[in-house]
């Protein structure tokens, strides 16, 4: 498509795809749309029409009324179309169709984008401008969760101070999406071809007003970066961000957990574990068949590190490190924390 809106004629592939997306969104798998108007470009569309059954009869609701589907739709991060503005109404007869934008109203992408912006932040991830105080709040949440190169940190040592280059930042009332880079910390020796890599982060606003990366307790590192450009190409809705926030963790993810520190065994066989206050509920490839697989996590620490922090055993602690999956008999729990950079008492 050129970026300006244009009508989609019968038989057009995009017309079929947009109508199919709306049908699936509304749970109308057995219906067919009778479209009175459909215009679109590559990212936003206007759709207005009724639904018919497979015998070509207009469908009614329980009160013998007809539902007019009158929507602005946008392409989402999964390259499927979703409703972002609804002008729907019920009408007494198929002859009573009056679309919000009649055929005499010229449609432009700017006009439709204005309607999306007018919805506010309740359901749509709207851009956060540089002048908006919300921008600082979100970036402060990123900054507080960024630890730099997770492979070069020392236990309870300093963390880098960074600034963020924002390429995309939007927010709903409860979630935010960030795409960009951190600058100001030394790049890991092990990271190469990094020019096109980005931090891609979903944040959630906590009851205390602080924005925190998701899934909960996630920390951001240089190793968190991924190749750029995927999610930023679509319109994100609150439901999309809520779903992304529930992503299953993978080995190597860096987290900060709280819980009780305990010592198991004695002498050379001694090791430390954390009984987390909030156990990790989804870790890809973890041995979930083992009872209590997520209730205790072994901490990978040297004898010297344990000796220096021996006064913490039995206490409530905060610990930051990388998720590690058990590989051998020397690993005593299905989940471990490795590359530990922070272990402090919670007072």
- Which residues, 6+ apart, have CB-to-CB distance to 17 below 8 Å? 81
In the predicted model, is pLDDT for residue 112 greater than 80?
yes
Listed by start position, the domains of the chain span 6-118, 126-245, 254-345
Please tell me the distance from the alpha carbon of residue 199 to that of residue 255, in angstroms, as a whole number: 16
Please tell me the distance from the alpha carbon of residue 43 to that of residue 314, in angstroms, as a whole number: 55
Would strands 146-148 and 220-221 be described as parallel, antiparallel, or unpaired?
parallel
What pLDDT score does 234 carry? 77
Token pair for 7: 């009508």
- Taking CB atoms within 8 Å and a gap of at least 24, the contacts of 310-314 are 312/261, 312/343, 312/344, 312/345, 313/261, 313/262, 313/263, 313/272, 314/260, 314/261, 314/262
State the alpha helices, DSSP H only, in 188-281: 238-245
Segment 305-347, tens digit of pLDDT: 999 999 999 999 999 999 999 988 889 999 999 999 999 999 8
In the predicted model, is pLDDT for residue 111 greater than 90?
yes
- Which residues, 6+ apart, have CB-to-CB distance to 289 below 8 Å? none
In the predicted model, is pLDDT for residue 279 greater than 90?
yes
- Which residues, 6+ apart, have CB-to-CB distance to 50 below 8 Å? 33, 34, 36, 58, 59, 66, 67, 68, 69, 94, 97
Segment 231-243, tens digit of pLDDT: 555 789 999 999 9
Please tell me the distance from the alpha carbon of residue 75 to that of residue 83, in angstroms, as a whole number: 9
254-345 CATH = 2.40.50
Half-sphere exposure of 234 (CA within 13 A, CB side): 18
Please tell me the distance from the alpha carbon of residue 30 to that of residue 51, in angstroms, as a whole number: 10
Token pair for 57: 């009869």
If one counts every other C-beta atom within 10 angstroms of the C-beta of residue 176, the result is 29
What pLDDT score does 195 carry? 61
pLDDT average, residue stretch 142-161? 93
Do 341 and 154 contact (CB within 8 A), yes or no? yes
């Amino acid at each position: 498509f050129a970026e300006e809106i244009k009508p989609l004629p019968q038989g057009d592939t995009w017309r079929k795809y947009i109508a199919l997306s709306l049908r699936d969104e509304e749970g109308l798998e057995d219906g067919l749309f009778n479209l009175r108007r459909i215009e679109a470009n590559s990212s936003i569309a206007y759709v207005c029409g009724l639904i018919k059954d497979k015998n070509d009869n207009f469908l009614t609701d329980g009160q013998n009324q007809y539902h007019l589907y009158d929507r602005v739709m946008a392409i989402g991060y999964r390259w499927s179309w979703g409703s972002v503005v609804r002008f729907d109404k019920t009408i007494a007869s198929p002859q009573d169709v009056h679309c919000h934008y009649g055929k005499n109203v010229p449609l432009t992408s700017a006009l439709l984008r204005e309607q999306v912006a007018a919805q506010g932040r309740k359901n749509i991830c709207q851009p956060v401008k540089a002048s908006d105080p919300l921008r600082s709040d979100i970036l402060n949440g990123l900054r507080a969760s960024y630890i730099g190169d997770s492979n070069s940190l020392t236990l309870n040592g300093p963390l880098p101070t960074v600034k963020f280059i924002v390429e995309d930042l939007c927010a709903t009332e409860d979630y935010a999406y960030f795409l960009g880079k951190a600058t100001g910390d030394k790049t890991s020796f092990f990271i190469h071809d990094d020019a096109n890599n980005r931090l891609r982060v979903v944040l959630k606003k906590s009851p205390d007003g602080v924005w925190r990366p998701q899934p909960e307790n996630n920390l951001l590192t240089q190793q968190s970066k991924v190749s750029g450009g995927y999610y930023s190409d679509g319109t994100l809705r609150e439901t999309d961000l809520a779903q992304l926030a529930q992503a299953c963790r993978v080995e190597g993810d860096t987290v900060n957990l709280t819980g009780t520190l305990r010592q198991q065994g004695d002498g050379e066989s001694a090791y430390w574990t954390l009984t987390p206050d909030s156990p990790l509920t989804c870790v890809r490839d973890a041995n979930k068949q083992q009872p209590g697989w997520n209730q205790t996590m072994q901490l990978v620490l040297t004898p010297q590190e344990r000796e220096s922090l021996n006064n913490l055993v039995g206490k409530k602690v905060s610990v930051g490190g990388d998720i590690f999956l058990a590989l051998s008999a020397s690993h005593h729990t299905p989940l471990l924390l490795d590359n530990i950079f922070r272990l402090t008492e919670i007072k």
